[in-house]
Amino acid sequence: MAVEVKGMKTWSGLAKKRRRPSEYEVVTTNLQTRTRHPDQAYELSPAPLLEMNEFYKRHVSESPLQHPDWEGFRDPDEMIYRVYTRIQDQQEQYVDGLLDEHNEIGHDATLSDAWLDVLERLYTPRRFLQMALQMGAAYLVQIAPASTITACAGFQDGDEFRWLSRCAYRARELQRAHPERGFGETERRTWEEEPAWQGFRELLEKTLATYDWGEHFVALNLVAKPAADEAHRQLGRIGRRFDDGLLGLMADNQMRDSERSRRWSAGLVAFSLENEGNAAVLSGWIEKWVPLARQAVTAYCGALPEQDDAANAALGAVESFHRSLGLDA
């Protein structure tokens, strides 16, 4: 005879919330193993014996950004994998439609020389910027002290790869339409040498070399990514005036992903503010990183044609995002 078996309403770890948990909470919370012991994130020799335990201790346990229970963080979008693939499949279908439509009408052949110069110089090299953003998100995935943060960063990692891929795709289309130009050939050199990109390159390289998890989050998600994406929005906006409606529509679509990143980032800031002292830490980091972003946006947007204040528009959007975080109070 089998022994008596009893059930329970929900995970014991969610029971004290006294409300029905969402699917997101059921499948995403409390899955992190790294935060059980400050000097032993990984189940091997504690710090300093095992380098990786020392690494995690230095960059997470001893980070200036502290919260007693990071696992309490919730993504405001409650994004889960099976919804992510559904949404992004739909969005990719939309982008496929745009590309198909524009290709059918020979869009790329109609672009002016002046605008092709812009695309070659300020659009297709973006895939290197996307790579940096992707690598930055991947760092958050592996260092985050909560599974709910890892999940948000994981989807962001996917999003960055999405736009890296679309940018590579467009480079090849433009190369086919204009083989005499540098599309598909010169992007790396442009990214490394073109003055308009150097601010972003500096900002992103320095972000990647920042390993404190909290500062990396601020540098990437509160400063570098919003700045890079807002600059791209300006490129798309100006594209419309040069009869490149495709770029504008694609940039709009990319902003959907960017805004999701801002929603969870703002959510994480709000959650962090439960802990006194974090406001000053976060503000301090923002102040530290914003000048690099300002320099990056100014250089990039300044190179756009007929840019009528694109830099200020982009920077204004980044600043209003910062104001929305409730750090000034």
The rounded distance, in Å, linking the Cα atoms of 210 and 289 is 11
CB of 102 to other proteins, least distance (A): 9
Choose, by CB under 8 A, the member of 70, 73, 128, 321 that binds other proteins.
128
Q: Which is nearer to other proteins, 17 or 172 (CB)?
A: 172
Q: Is 329 in the site for other proteins (CB under 8 A)?
A: no
List phi, psi (to 5°) of 310.
-60, -40
Q: Which is nearer to other proteins, 170 or 322 (CB)?
A: 170
Q: Is 69 in the site for other proteins (CB under 8 A)?
A: no
Return the closest-CA partner of residue 119 out of 219, 297, 250, 277. 250
Q: Which two tokens stand for residue 283?
A: 């503000």
Q: Is 161 in the site for other proteins (CB under 8 A)?
A: yes
Choose, by CB under 8 A, the member of 116, 149, 151, 318 that binds other proteins.
151
Q: Which is nearer to other proteins, 61 or 307 (CB)?
A: 61
- Number of residues forming the site for other proteins (CB under 8 A): 87
Q: Is 9 in the site for other proteins (CB under 8 A)?
A: yes
Choose, by CB under 8 A, the member of 62, 69, 96, 252 that binds other proteins.
96
At 256, which amino acid appears?
A: R
Choose, by CB under 8 A, the member of 20, 22, 62, 86 that binds other proteins.
86
The rounded distance, in Å, linking the Cα atoms of 268 and 274 is 10
Q: Which two tokens stand for residue 111?
A: 């672009």
Q: Is 290 in the site for other proteins (CB under 8 A)?
A: no
Q: Which two tokens stand for residue 71?
A: 């696992």
Options 98-106, 223-231, 262-270, 279-287: segment touching other proteins (CB under 8 A): 98-106
The secondary structure of 192-253 as a DSSP string is HH-HHHHHHHHHHHHHHT--SHHHHHIIIIIIIHHHHHHHHHHHHHHHHHTT-HHHHHHHHH
At 234, which amino acid appears?
A: Q
Binding string, residues 27-46; x marks residues near other proteins by CB under 8 A: xxxxxxx--x-----xxxxx
CB of 181 to other proteins, least distance (A): 14
Q: Is 109 in the site for other proteins (CB under 8 A)?
A: no
The rounded distance, in Å, linking the Cα atoms of 305 and 121 is 12
The rounded distance, in Å, linking the Cα atoms of 140 and 198 is 24
The residue behind tokens 């802990």 is 275
Q: Which two tokens stand for residue 72?
A: 């309490």
User: Could you say which residues in the range 170-199 bind other proteins, by CB under 8 A?
Assistant: 171-173, 184, 187-188, 191-192, 198
Choose, by CB under 8 A, the member of 14, 177, 279, 290 that binds other proteins.
14
CB of 304 to other proteins, least distance (A): 22
Q: Which is nearer to other proteins, 208 or 255 (CB)?
A: 208
